[in-house]
Structure 1
Amino acid sequence: MSRLHGTKDFWIGALRAEGPAFAAAVAEAPPETPVLSCPGWTVADLTLHLAAIYRWVRSFAGAGAASRPPGRPERIEPEAGVAPLRLWQQEYDQLMALFDALDPEAPAWNWAPQPKKAGFWPRRMAHETAVHRWDAQLAIAAGEPVEAKLAADGVSEVLDTWLPAGRRRTAGQWHGVVQLSAVDAAQQWFLRLRGEGVALLDTATIFDHDDHHARAQVSGTASDLLLALWGRVSFDTLDVAGDPTLLEGLRVG
């Protein structure tokens, strides 16, 4: 079943590891270096994108209100003479200061069908940063895996947040149960696809009607599962059995 590893401290700890790793990769690459996992983007684009998301989240996550913020993340440009990485570092430092003081139970808007609480955002930013850290490292031919517990929670986030919010990469109709197994995290997930809808199941409910057998099974490391769900690696790189066409209904981003 799906188990959240996360608490505010867990996600902030992940950000404290993933943020500097992202910065180190960016510092090693010329700004115009292509980001192969984000076609059309350079390392500078990736850096400014993440900085913009941090700034956008800071604009409302600590305001103590659940109302929808105006606007969306927009690319920000550094002032003359300021490198993209320096701007990113400023935004990262301010985001971490906000999160350190944040009450995760305080009201805060989010775009998911979940309680509108501030704790949503440290989790979201931890995974946003981890995946983009992998992107940045791939640009310098590195690409270290996402730590297993963080990656397992990232898989859960895709299944309990992104897919129920309708944020699939491709629109379509899929029907059947998919089983995902993270071999290095002793964790598995069952997801029933219902056309455009989804239902994340636990082991106590997967036998609630006759069509309970998983039509597709995928196993691999938690990091590879997460990266496949985000379209960074192909599901073909994992151990797949059953109907692989269902897996396109799990991709987000």
Structure 2
Amino acid sequence: MSKLHGTKDFWIGALRADGPAFASAVAEAPPETPVLSCPGWTVTDLTLHLASIYQWVRSFAGAGEPTRPGRRDEAELPAGIPPLQLWQQEYDQLMTLFESLDPEAPAWNWAPQPKKAAFWLRRMAHETAVHRWDAQLAIAAGDPVEAKLAADGVGEVLDTWLPAGRRAATGQWHGVVQLVAADVTQEWYLRLRGDGVALLDTATVFGHEDHHARAQVTGTASDLLLALWGRVSFDTLGVAGDRALLAGLRVG
């Protein structure tokens, strides 16, 4: 299993591309336009959601310590500012922080990952990319997530979200699932163990174990990422084997 290793420059580059694209889509949509990929949300809701995440991350990611911050839903955005203008302010301030941030500096996170600031560079790049897609879908667009970024996003779901127990649904799943991103020639094997998971390295851990995939999903890296996040159906990708296992891969 080959891996893409993200860097500060890689994630900041993604933010520089997807941030303005998000803003452009929001500017084109009437404020109450429904966001079809986020049921119950309008474009205004989506814009304020992303702005609040940026504000929350800024409040602790550069502090240089792994202390747990306050809850994000306890933060308050300034009142009386148009949503897109508020988002732009928060985006600009986040980018200023990230430009000067040492990715190795201590920083809290909620996942079974090293408590370093790099986590938030990666997390914000993917948060922005997926919500950029949401915003564009609201105006009948929806460009794919850039292939290398999407592959890193698939990796984030498998090595961060699922091990942290952040599935979209509760349940018990058992078996190995193989994901194949054909456009970047990358694959992942994930063993589902009830409500737990293990990301497998086929070069080192298989040996005598039964590692044959009970389900296989093939598509572009972007489509795999969007399916894991519930934005598109797995049925739009190439699926073989036990489809019931795929419910254990969705996060949100």
Task: Name the TM-score, length of structure 2 as normaliser.
Answer: 0.97
Distance 2:123 2:111 in 1: 11
Q: Name stretches of at least 5 consecutive residues in structure 2 with no aligned partner.
A: none
Partner amino acid for 2:35?
A: V
Deviation at 1:209, TM superposition (A): 3.7
Deviation at 1:206, TM superposition (A): 5.1
Distance 1:191 1:99 in 2: 32
Distance 1:136 1:71 in 2: 25
Query: Is 1:245 the equivalent of 2:244?
Result: yes
Partner amino acid for 2:217?
A: V
Partner amino acid for 1:247?
A: L
Distance 2:223 2:74 in 1: 29
Distance 1:34 1:74, change over 3 A: farther
> Where does residue 5 of structure 2 map in the other structure?
5
CA contact (8 A) 1:53 1:73 kept: no
Partner amino acid for 1:185?
A: V
Deviation at 1:83, TM superposition (A): 1.2
CA contact (8 A) 1:15 1:129 kept: yes
Deviation at 1:67, TM superposition (A): 1.1
Map 1:12-27; keep pairs closer than 5 Å. Answer: 12-27=12-27
Partner amino acid for 2:191?
A: R
Distance 1:175 1:209 in 2: 18
Deviation at 1:79, TM superposition (A): 2.9
Query: Is 1:198 the equivalent of 2:197?
Result: yes
Using the aligned pairs only, state the percent identity: 82
> Where does residue 30 of structure 2 map in the other structure?
30
For residue 3 of structure 2, give the secondary structure of its aligned residue in structure 1: coil
Deviation at 1:2, TM superposition (A): 4.9
Task: Name the TM-score, length of structure 1 as normaliser.
Answer: 0.97
Distance 1:207 1:77 in 2: 49
For residue 217 of structure 2, give the secondary structure of its aligned residue in structure 1: strand
Distance 2:143 2:242 in 1: 29
CA contact (8 A) 1:31 1:42 kept: yes
For residue 157 of structure 2, give the secondary structure of its aligned residue in structure 1: helix
Deviation at 1:249, TM superposition (A): 0.3
Deviation at 1:77, TM superposition (A): 4.8
For residues 209-247 of structure 1, what are the alpha-carbon distances to aligned partners after superposition, in whole Å with 9 as ceiling and x for unaligned? 442100000000000000000000000000000000000
- Structure 1 runs (4+) greater than 6 angstroms displaced: none
CA contact (8 A) 1:5 1:149 kept: no
How many residues align structurally?
Answer: 252
Distance 1:21 1:201 in 2: 35
